[in-house]
Amino acid sequence: MAIAQFLDRVLRLLGIAILAAMMVLTFADVVGREVFARPLSVAPELTVMGLVALVYVGLPRVSATDEHISIGLLQGLFKGRAYALKSGFVCLIMAGISAVLARQIWIHGDKLGAEVMILLDFRKAWLAYAMSVLVGMTAAVFLVRAGARFRSAARHRGA
């Protein structure tokens, strides 16, 4: 569990740093534009990169803590063991979807090759690879959660 707590802390701090940097960047861009009539030329590219990073850094954390948005239309139908089994299967499905998505993002990064952002001269593939790794972490999180749900279902059987 120490590894999970360490990763949670790193992802949380990284998300905070990205959001703070985006706020400072936006403030500097607005002041530059409105006061000095000289906006930051790289602000749009940095904002896009920051937003992408923020979403994908948050994905494993939100998945691990079960803080994602969900609709409980059928939640009342499942109690005890049935709920734990349903949750386990949903986590398995989400792990599979996340793994496929991570693979596809990695393949897209390969296709980007040496393509760079116009003003920053930053390789777009690196951003795609980072996104792929973070979605892969999300798949692992869902697998761990599925195991926990199935163990919970097994405990309900004995009760």
Question: Contact at 8 Å (CB) between 18 and 50?
Answer: yes
70-122 pLDDT, tens per residue? 777 777 788 888 888 988 999 999 999 999 999 999 999 999 988 998 888 88
Q: Residue 151 corresponds to which amino acid? A: R
Rounded Cα gap, residues 69 and 72, in angstroms: 10
Domain boundaries, the chain: 2-158
Q: What is the distance of C-alpha 83 from the center of its chain?
A: 25
Rounded Cα gap, residues 154 and 159, in angstroms: 9
SS3 38: coil
48-76 pLDDT, tens per residue? 999 999 999 999 989 988 887 777 777 77
Q: pTM for the complete prediction? A: 0.86
Helix segments in 35-159, DSSP class H:
43-64, 80-112, 124-158
Per-residue pLDDT band at 158 (split at 50, 70, 90): low
Q: What is the largest CA-CA distance in the chain?
A: 71
* Sequence-separated (6 or more) residues with CB below 8 Å from residue 150: 84, 85, 88
